[in-house]
A and B are shown apart, each in its own frame.
Chain A
Amino acid sequence: MKIKKQLAVLLTGVLALSTLLAGCQGKGGSSKSYAPASSIDWMVTSSPGGGSDIFTRMITDIMKTEGIVDSTFVVTNKTDGGGEVGRNEVANLKGDKASNTLLTFNSGDLMPMVLNTKNRSKNFKILAVMALDKQLIFKTEHTKQADFAEAIQAAKNGETIVIGGSKGDDVATYEAMIKEIGVTSDNMKYITYDSTSDAITAGLGGHVDFVISKPAVASEYVEAGSLIPVLALATERYSGKFDAPTLSEIGDYENVEVPVWRGVVGPANMSDEAVAFWSEALKKVSESERWKTEYIDKYKLVPEFKGAAEATEYITAYEKAYMEANGIQ
C-alpha cells in the first residue's frame, strides 16, 4: 500500500538523519585529546592580497607542504565593518567550531577593535605571535632638514613639520614619539594615509617632509636612494641599509618602540587541548626554513615566535597599555 511505503521511506530517512547527527556529534566531541577537523576555517579580516592575507596563506601553505597538519584550510576574507564583524563572529563561536576556527590578528586589528567596539583580547584564546615589525622614519630628496634632530629642533622653534604614514600602528608610534620628544602634534603633524605606499608617494612628491614606514614597504626605495632612513623607532639600530640612529642617540630621549605584531588567535571557547595543538603547529611553522626565507627575510620582519602563554601575556599587556594611553575603560 502506498502509505506503508511512504512511512517506510520516512522512517528510514529519520533513522539515517539521526545516525548522521549522532556521528557528527561524536566526531569532535569533548574527548581529552584534540584532533583537528578535516576542514579548518581561517578568517582574515582584510582583503585578499594584503599583508594579513599573505601572512595567513603562507602559514596554511607551509602547514600543508611540511605535513604539520593534514586538514584543508578554508580561508575566508571577511572585511565587513572594517573587520570588526569577522572578529566579533570568531570571538563568539561555540562548540566544535570553536576548536576548529582560527583568526589572523595583528596589532593593527587590536587598536581599532578596542577603540570602536566592546570586543577585547580576552574574548579570544591567543595562540601565537609569529613575527614582529618595527617602524623607521625616512626623509626624501625634498626634505629640508638633514636629519631628524634638525627636524625636532625646527618643530620646537615653531616651524611645521609634516610626517606621513599609514593608519593604525604607525599612528600609535608617532604619538608615542612626539610625547617622548616633547613637541605638539600641531608643530609636528601627522597625515594618515590609507596605506604606507600612499604615504611614500606623498613623500616622493615632496608633499610631506618625512615618511614613517616599516622596512618591507620602504625597501625598494631605500635601495634606489629615494628614501633615506633617519630614525629607527626601536630599542636598537637596524643593520644594513636600514641603519639609522635611535631616539636616544640623537638627543636626550628614551628610545621609543611600539612594535607591530602579527599573531593567530582562536575563539574564547576553543578547548585547551586545541590551543596547545595549534600553538605547537604554529611553532613548527615558525621554525621551518620556508617561513624564514619566504616570509621573514622577504618582508624584513623580526622573527619572534611567542607560544600561547607568552603571546597572551604580551598581547594583554599591549592592549592594556594602549587602552590606558587612549583613555579607554
Chain B
Amino acid sequence: MENFELLLRGFSVSLTPANIGAAFLGAILGLIVGAMPGIGSLAGVALLLPLTYKFNPTTAIIMLGALYYSNMYGGSFSAILLNIPGDSPAVMTALDGYPMAKKRKRPGQALFTANMASFIGGTIGIIILTFAGPALANFGLKFGPSEMTAVLLIAMTSISWLVGENPIKGVVITMLGILLASMGMDTLSGSPRYDFGNMYLLGGIPFTPFVIGTVGFSQVISLINERDVKTEKIDAKLSIKGSILTKREFKRLLPPAIRSGLLGTFVGVLPGAGATTGSFMGYAVQKRFKSEEELGTGAVEGIAACEAANNAAAAGAFAPLLALGIPGSGTGAVLLGGLMMWGLNPGPLLFQNEPDFAWGLISSLFLSNILTLIVAIGIIPFLTKILSVPTKYMIPIITVVCVVGSYSTTYSMYGVLVMLLSGIFGYFMQKNDYPTAPMLLSFVLSPLLESNMRKAFIISGGSLSIFFTRPITLVLMLIFLFFITFPIIRGAVSKAKNYKQRSRMA
C-alpha cells in the first residue's frame, strides 16, 4: 500500500536520535501539564508551543505532536488519583477511575488500565489515520449541521444512562446543565443571552472551572470527614509489577478499548467534536454492553472505554487538520498556528508538497504513543505514593490546586469564583442525591446540539424535512428514534409477557 511505504519513509525521518529525544521530552512535559487540573490540552499546547521554537521544524512538530498526545494521557492521572479531572476528556475517566483507586484500593491497576486503553485507542486512531486519513476527513466533511444534530441527539440519549435511580432528579439536573451552558454570547445571532447585565457573564460560564468545582472541590469538601479514618497503607504493592492487571482483567479491557478506539477516531474526525465528546460517547456506548463490574463502581471497562475513546479522538482530529487544514477544536487551532509558523501549511496540498513532514509527523505519533506509555507506566509507583499522603494534608493541597488551576483557565479570579460556586453547588447536589454527571454532559453537548440544530433550520428555512431527506441524517435519526423507543417497547413487551404469565398461572 502506498500509504504504508510513505509511513515507513516517515519512520526513517522520525527515528533520528534528536527527534526521538524531542518526542521523549514532549511526552514527559505533556504528561505533567496534562495532569494539572485546569490546564487542558488547549492551554497546555498553547503554553508549551514556544518551547518548540528552538528546534528545526520537523523536530519541533514531532515534539508538539508528542505534547498533544501525552496531554491526553496525563489528564487521567489526577482524575483517577484525586477525582479532579485534569481536563474535560478526563471527566468520564474519573467516574470509574477514582472508585477503583479509592474504594477498591487498586490505584496502580486503575492507572495501568487507563494507560493501556489510551495506548490501544491511540494506536487504533493512528492506524486509521495512516490508511484512511484523507478519506476519513472527506467523509467528515459530509457531516453538516443536520447530521451533527442527529449525532448529538444520539449522544444526549446516553445521558439517560448516567441518571441513576431517580429519573426526575436526573432530568432536572440535565436541564440545569443546558441552561447554564446557554448563558453568554450566542454566536448565531451575535447577541448575548442570560447575561443579566453582568460583563463577566457575557462570556458565559467557563467549562473547566465549572468541572473542577463541581467534581473536584465538592469532593474536597466531603474529604474533611475522612481525615480521621486511618489512611490504610495501600496493600497493593506500589511497584509496577503490583500494578499489572490480571490476565482476566486485561481481557476485559480489550473489547471496550477497541470499540471505543474505533468510535473515538470517528468522533474526532467530526467537525466540532473532540476528545471530550469522544470520551463521553465511549462511556455511553459501554453502558449498553455488559461489564463484569458495574460501571461507576470502579470497573475496568469504564476506564478503558473513555480513555481509549479520548486518545483515539485526538488521533482522529489530526485527519481533518492535516488533510484539510481544518482544526477540529481550539487545540487544533493552536496546532495549526504552530504548524503555520514553521511555514508548513496543512491542507489539501500538504501530503503532496511536504510528504516527508506529514508522514514524519504521523509516524512520530506512533512513537510518542509508545514512549508516553512507557513513561506513564514507569511513573505509576511514584504516582500511587500520592495516595498515601494523609487526607488532612490533601485537603489544603487539593484546594490550592483547584484554585490555581481554575485561575489559569481564565487568567482571572472569575474562574476561581466559578469553581468555588460550582463546588459549593455540587456539594449540595450530592448531599441531596442529585447526580452531577448528567449536568456536565449536557453542559458540553447542548450548545453543540443547539447551534447545529439552528443552522440546519436556517438552511432548510424552518422546515423539519432536512432531517429526513438527507441520507446520512435520515439513518442517524432512525438510530436515535430507535434508541428512545426501544426501552419503551421493551418495557411494554415485558409487561405483556408478565401479564400473560400471570394469567396463565391464574
Contact between A224 and B349, CB atoms less than 8 A apart: yes
Tell whether B199 is near chain A: CB-to-CB under 8 Å: yes
Tell me which residues from 151 to 194 in chain A have a Cβ below 8 Å from any Cβ of chain B: 160, 162, 167, 171, 189, 191-194
Contact between B348 and A191, CB atoms less than 8 A apart: no
A190 to chain B, nearest CB (A): 8
Contact between B200 and A198, CB atoms less than 8 A apart: no
Contact between B327 and A191, CB atoms less than 8 A apart: no
Q: Cβ of A204: which chain B residues have Cβ within 8 Å of it? A: 141, 324, 326
User: Complex formed: what's the CA distance from A115 to B190 in Å?
Assistant: 9
Tell me which residues from 269 to 294 in chain B have a Cβ below 8 Å from any Cβ of chain A: 271-272
Question: What does the 1/0 interface line of B40-58 toward A look like (CB < 8 Å)?
Answer: 0011001101000000000
Tell whether A76 is near chain B: CB-to-CB under 8 Å: yes
Tell whether A123 is near chain B: CB-to-CB under 8 Å: no
User: Complex formed: what's the CA distance from A208 to B145 in Å?
Assistant: 10
Tell whether A19 is near chain B: CB-to-CB under 8 Å: no
Q: Cβ of A54: which chain B residues have Cβ within 8 Å of it? A: 337
Q: Cβ of A88: which chain B residues have Cβ within 8 Å of it? A: 199
Question: What does the 1/0 interface line of B340-359 toward A look like (CB < 8 Å)?
Answer: 00000111110000000000
Contact A201:B190 (CB < 8 A) given known A48-B334, A49-B337: no
Tell whether A80 is near chain B: CB-to-CB under 8 Å: yes
B470 to chain A, nearest CB (A): 10
Interface residues on B, range: 35 or more
Contact A192:B333 (CB < 8 A) given known A81-B199, A81-B203, A201-B141: no
Contact A82:B145 (CB < 8 A) given known A48-B47, A167-B190: no
Residue on B nearest A216 in the bound complex, by CB? B340
Contact A80:B203 (CB < 8 A) given known A191-B458, A207-B459, A220-B325: yes
Contact between A162 and B459, CB atoms less than 8 A apart: yes
Q: Cβ of A116: which chain B residues have Cβ within 8 Å of it? A: 191-192, 195, 202
User: Complex formed: what's the CA distance from A205 to B140 in Å?
Assistant: 8
Q: Cβ of B142: which chain A residues have Cβ within 8 Å of it? A: 205-206
Contact A82:B185 (CB < 8 A) given known A77-B411, A160-B461: yes
User: Complex formed: what's the CA distance from A32 to B199 in Å?
Assistant: 37
Residue on B nearest A226 in the bound complex, by CB? B348
B262 to chain A, nearest CB (A): 22
Tell whether A314 is near chain B: CB-to-CB under 8 Å: no
User: Complex formed: what's the CA distance from A81 to B141 in Å?
Assistant: 32
Contact A112:B185 (CB < 8 A) given known A54-B337, A197-B333: yes
Tell whether A78 is near chain B: CB-to-CB under 8 Å: yes
Contact between A171 and B190, CB atoms less than 8 A apart: yes
- Selected from A81, A162, A207, A221, the residue in CB contact (under 8 A) with B200 is A81
Question: What does the 1/0 interface line of B432-475 toward A look like (CB < 8 Å)?
Answer: 00000000000000000000000100110100000000000000
User: Complex formed: what's the CA distance from A54 to B192 in Å?
Assistant: 27
User: Complex formed: what's the CA distance from A85 to B199 in Å?
Assistant: 6
Tell whether A128 is near chain B: CB-to-CB under 8 Å: no
B318 to chain A, nearest CB (A): 15
- Selected from B326, B330, B334, the residue in CB contact (under 8 A) with A201 is B326
Tell whether A66 is near chain B: CB-to-CB under 8 Å: no
Question: What does the 1/0 interface line of B169-203 toward A look like (CB < 8 Å)?
Answer: 00000000000000011011111100100111111
Question: What does the 1/0 interface line of A204-215 toward B look like (CB < 8 Å)?
Answer: 111110000000
Tell whether A72 is near chain B: CB-to-CB under 8 Å: no
Tell whether B34 is near chain A: CB-to-CB under 8 Å: no
Contact between B203 and A79, CB atoms less than 8 A apart: yes
User: Complex formed: what's the CA distance from A205 to B137 in Å?
Assistant: 10
Contact between B185 and A201, CB atoms less than 8 A apart: no
Residue on B nearest A189 in the bound complex, by CB? B458
User: Complex formed: what's the CA distance from A160 to B466 in Å?
Assistant: 14
Contact between A47 and B184, CB atoms less than 8 A apart: no
Contact between B458 and A162, CB atoms less than 8 A apart: yes
Contact between A49 and B333, CB atoms less than 8 A apart: yes
Contact between A49 and B141, CB atoms less than 8 A apart: no
Tell whether B414 is near chain A: CB-to-CB under 8 Å: yes
A307 to chain B, nearest CB (A): 29
Q: Cβ of B143: which chain A residues have Cβ within 8 Å of it? A: 205
Tell whether B225 is near chain A: CB-to-CB under 8 Å: no
- Selected from A82, A206, A221, the residue in CB contact (under 8 A) with B203 is A82
Q: Cβ of B199: which chain A residues have Cβ within 8 Å of it? A: 80-81, 84-85, 88, 117
Q: Cβ of A313: which chain B residues have Cβ within 8 Å of it? A: none
Question: What does the 1/0 interface line of B293-337 toward A look like (CB < 8 Å)?
Answer: 000000000000000000000000000100011110010011011
Contact A47:B46 (CB < 8 A) given known A79-B203, A195-B333: yes
Contact between A197 and B410, CB atoms less than 8 A apart: no
Q: Cβ of B185: which chain A residues have Cβ within 8 Å of it? A: 82, 112
Contact between A194 and B187, CB atoms less than 8 A apart: yes
B57 to chain A, nearest CB (A): 15
Contact between A47 and B272, CB atoms less than 8 A apart: no
B269 to chain A, nearest CB (A): 11
User: Complex formed: what's the CA distance from A205 to B349 in Å?
Assistant: 18
Q: Cβ of B202: which chain A residues have Cβ within 8 Å of it? A: 81-82, 84, 116-117
Contact A220:B187 (CB < 8 A) given known A77-B411, A78-B412, A205-B142: no
A138 to chain B, nearest CB (A): 14
- Selected from B46, B184, B187, B345, the residue in CB contact (under 8 A) with A192 is B187
Tell me which residues from 67 to 112 in chain A have a Cβ below 8 Å from any Cβ of chain B: 76-85, 88, 112
User: Complex formed: what's the CA distance from A261 to B411 in Å?
Assistant: 26
Contact between B272 and A220, CB atoms less than 8 A apart: no
Q: Cβ of A220: which chain B residues have Cβ within 8 Å of it? A: 325, 345-349
Residue on B nearest A294 in the bound complex, by CB? B341
Tell whether B390 is near chain A: CB-to-CB under 8 Å: no
Residue on A nearest B456 in the bound complex, by CB? A207
User: Complex formed: what's the CA distance from A207 to B140 in Å?
Assistant: 12
User: Complex formed: what's the CA distance from A286 to B410 in Å?
Assistant: 31
Contact A167:B187 (CB < 8 A) given known A48-B47, A220-B348: yes
Given contacts A189-B459, A223-B347, 17 further A-B contacts (CB under 8 A): A48-B46, A49-B334, A50-B333, A50-B337, A54-B337, A77-B411, A80-B410, A84-B202, A160-B459, A162-B459, A189-B458, A194-B187, A197-B327, A204-B326, A221-B325, A224-B347, A226-B348
Q: 9 pairs across A/B with beta carbons < 8 Å?
A: A48-B334, A79-B411, A80-B200, A82-B203, A112-B185, A115-B190, A189-B459, A192-B189, A205-B144
Q: Which residues of A contact B (CB under 8 A)?
A: 47-50, 54, 76-85, 88, 112, 115-117, 160, 162, 167, 171, 189, 191-195, 197-198, 200-202, 204-208, 219-221, 223-224, 226
The 4 A-B pairs at the shortest CB distance, nearest first, are namely A207-B144, A220-B347, A224-B348, A205-B141
